[in-house]
Amino acid sequence: MRRLGFGAMRLCGPRIMGWPDDRENALAVLRRAPERGVSVIDTSDAYGPEVNELQLAEALHPYPEGLVIATKGGLLRNEAGDWTPDGRPEHLREACEASLRRLRIDRIDLYQLHAVDGEVPIEESVGELARLREEGKIRHVGLSNVSIEELELAREVVPVVSVQNRYNLADRHSEDVLEACERDGRAFLPWFPLAVGDLAQPGGRLDDVARRHEATPAQVALAWLLRRSPVVLPIPGTASLEHLEENVAAERIELSDEDFAELAA
């Protein structure tokens, strides 16, 4: 599997709600991603809501061989765009089956619990995902936005193949979760991978390294993630064909030990 995915969330309308103004551009970006070797496309029933999964099916069904479609359930959206966890087993079953219909498939390659519901023990939530897996509706189970403790509780109930947490050069609070994934050979999908904060300011560490490699700061930020651990699979998102090409090209950047240490400092 190529170690660069695509996060489709930004192809929805403003605030990740509704359809984008340019629907054809969104479809073009989705079609171009696997052409450029993207191996995983990540979405969720909460993006739109529902819009993003419908876009994926319209653009790519029947899906190219080898392309992993990863979606998520367990977050609700309202008209104001708020995100509310719902990890009740009955909701997750309904959400998974609705995603199957929108994506036009019989089995979801990777189904992720989008967030832990503070009102529902995580064991109950992933227990339903385990049952859906046994029924053949899910191939693999993943988690998103979890602590190391929640990961350990979940993996006692069902095999967990991936974790998707916020992680980037400027925010490494999930370092312990990444280390656990690396130890166990579990994929780690950092969301918001291009957040770099002040590092990209002129004269900053990221800016200096980018100039040395004749690359953009975003490309170097992705290259750093790929170098950080062999289990890291970034999923940068964009609604721009130009930025998609730029992100994919980041795989060609080979950071030296000095580059990596300078950025990690």
> Distance between CA atoms of 6 and 224, rounded to whole angstroms?
17
> Distance between CA atoms of 75 and 48, rounded to whole angstroms?
12
**What kind of fold does domain 6-197+229-245 have according to CATH?**
TIM Barrel (3.20.20)
- CA-based angle 251:256:258, to the nearest 5? 140
| Residue tagged 């930004």 (tokens) | 10
**Interior/surface letters 172-188, b for 16+ CB within 10 angstroms, e for the rest:** eebeebbebbeeeebbb
Residue 265 is predicted with a pLDDT of 85
Q: What is the pLDDT of residues 42-65, one digit of tens each?
A: 999 999 999 999 999 999 999 999
Active site annotation includes 111: no
* DSSP reduced 3-state for 102: helix
Residue 1 is predicted with a pLDDT of 63
Question: Residue 235: pLDDT band by 50, 70, 90 thresholds?
Answer: very high
Which amino acid is present at 223?
A: A
Question: Residue 197: pLDDT band by 50, 70, 90 thresholds?
Answer: confident
> Distance between CA atoms of 27 and 56, rounded to whole angstroms?
8
User: DSSP string spanning 6-37?
Assistant: EEGGGGSSGGGBS--S-HHHHHHHHHHHHHTT
Half-sphere exposure of residue 53: CA atoms within 13 angstroms, side-chain side: 24
Q: What is the pLDDT of residues 77-124, one digit of tens each?
A: 998 999 999 999 999 999 999 999 999 999 999 999 999 999 999 999
- CA-based angle 181:234:13, to the nearest 5? 125
Q: Which of 47, 63, 111, 167 is catalytic?
A: 47
